[in-house]
Amino acid sequence: MSANSLMKRLRAIQWSWLGLMVLTAISVAVFREVRPVCSGLLLGEVGGLFVIFSMIRQGHLNDDVQGQLLFASGMMGMFARLALIVVIMVISLKFKALFNPYAALVGYALSFVFIIIGMYRYAKNPPDQRR
């Protein structure tokens, strides 16, 4: 796999995530009896959108950042994602009538599942680095 195929795979992950968000938004409108669960899932997915973009955007693909700067960048991303889940859980717990907290947590965690499943094939067949 080349860098071009990696970028195609990352775009596929992004578009499939946006498709899942659209389906969840439609389910919020259609299924009124389980609206708190669906809207909690959508709240978590909105937070998961940040996870998707922060973890798979081009990042340091072309700027040769290494060592301490790369470590600091990764730590900042990790803390930003941690702070985001705290915000999502506070919102879902504050407005329990609107958002199911468990569904919000599942919606957020699904973003990591999408990344792992989407990158599995790339990890099994990495590109040739000898060029």
User: How many other CB atoms are there within 10 angstroms of residue 109's CB atom?
Assistant: 14
* pLDDT of 119: 84
Domain hosting residue 119, numbered range? 3-124
Nearest to 7 by CA among 66, 65, 55, 56: 56
* pLDDT of 64: 67
130 within domain boundaries: no
Q: Give the total number of structural domains in the chain.
A: 1
Percent of the chain with pLDDT over 90: 53
Q: Which residues of the chain have pLDDT under 70?
A: 1-3, 58-65, 126-131
pTM above 0.85, yes or no: no
118 within domain boundaries: yes
* pLDDT of 58: 57
